[in-house]
Structure 1
């Protein structure tokens, strides 16, 4: 027997996602839950939506300024009876304050409470931001149309409490999702045609440290090994691992497992051991470089990306030069670099002594990025003549331009000009030339 709602016309959902891959995955869950349980269909026109969701990020400076600006924009364009809901990390951080500051918001749903979306939409002015809420066992509805790539949360929350980071305050304590649930979901995704899986967690390689139920002892290395056994799954990526948990066993599994892509994000944050200690990162420059050396011994051509913060409280010119030294030594393929911005609820936000001026921080950031641009150019020249197997992720065919592009096992972007290749296809490409970080080549 069908439910009555099955016969009602579908409502329209518009969702804006800000922030990281975790937020993207949360948005996928929100969309799937509302489609399955509340008969919503997705629209890219906010003015036609019955429900507008803003899935927020709070990692960078003053996200609330961006949020309230967006609320105003959507309120002006929305239909008369459409609802506006605020979700994600800024929702967790501000909670009821959002309703106090904007009468146009209908509900607030924190990052740790995403599974409550189908109930909160029926509660006027509701706020659900419980950091202790545990949905690690919750089976979210699945998107009907899976593509060749998919995201998979393996843990929620974070226990690290780095001095600059607001995430523990917005996503709560770290809990791993049981391995049998992960394997079942991964198998479903593979059966729908997913070839590449991106595993998500604030500290993915700390997987297994805590479950909310009794669970056999398991770690991230074991999870990678088990996922690789799934038929149809060709590639496994993950983000973000923590340098502190990169033991030899993990790095050896990463190197030898044929389905694990040979690119890895290893956040540095600072090259100065003094600043790393102040940041409460738990490792030194020596430890970080030791892990890099061992990884490159196992995989000389491994692709490595990182994060670096400049201008952290107490950072001297000498400390900054230590970051420059590590950048030159490791020669990262990708660099995400930022000027430190104080976040509420974090220890460093209250520190006054040793603050770095914006002018000095901007100048340091420019020097860091200039050095990385030079490294990128040199790294790209080393790729000439090499053959990469890429997964086609983007293509275009028109009178003006035809191309296909994708990423290699080592996460290098490779573009094939003059060829239209279907999305999700694997192609071997010989690199012929390079422009900055993008490689160009021909199928072979």
Structure 2
């Protein structure tokens, strides 16, 4: 008999949310003024959780074929909160995810995919017609789509996964949509689901608690202010508490205080530049147009880990994004202005002595990008670069180039803070770091 458990989303009040990616200004107040108690207004349909009722248009349960082939469950949520910011790029991200699954040997239907309004037949996807240049709307066309991207479906799938996919040791969660900035507490930002229902970091962390404690959860989230979700590794999603008993890690398009890129109504995928595109290109070896990309197997162990795909994206993605992972957020939280000052004044080559292969790749590529001397410190290189610019050299004249410099700073901080953490020989901190890093170095490949 299936036990039916009612889950309630709880968390801080979002009275000061800034919403990213919405045309116009009225939408911000409409979303931001609603308290958490209003975020989920419709009850979960537990007849659909049982997946045996003829009244259900969606089955959350996996097929026997899926159970036989999977060690990882895949859960994907995407789309805007309403038609006016439900861009076609978000739909195409889900289609690219399915192609990535196929490239790595999985059947696309093995992923539980929920997008915007789901299968109700309404034209909600905004796009620019390539013929006449006008804005139009279309119906979602995603094979194997399970339903709408709503909090109810998120709760229901997680409740079902505990039983339907009990043998699967891992869960990979992918979100591609819009995010909100909580101005009162950027450690508890939110992802925006359909009907403009916000799910915060703390709510998401608590929802995952219903899964078995021995299940590993990896998240890849590509929305504005997504770095805040690095806090889902802690109990209640609170970075002031200890790590969750459940093993969790994640990768995020940008830091918690910055908007991200990639939500466009343009149809041509060859022009897309965003974290999702680069991450899955690194993971699968194929970009979203099907062209091969250089291997991201930096440690040469025969498979590409999540951490290596993340490293690939840091170099490949020519945007203003500042990608960050859970271990990197954990390390940067323990840095200080004084420590960063000291790090930037050490020779880059010295810092690289303790770097992992994927970290070395990022630093080497970004050092070459700016023609820096690795035997000099970051600060010395930047000073020399400024002198060259004053003498007629090539200036850093774009926000994307500035972002590459910031990514280099972040990578040097990550490497140095990990070395300092291990040198301090605090057993608990080292165990926490090892646990997060180990999760990030796993992959879809068994």
TM surpasses 0.5: no
- Greater Rg by CA: 1
Q: TM-score, normalised by structure 2?
A: 0.30
**Larger RCO (alpha carbons 8 Å, 6+ apart):** 2
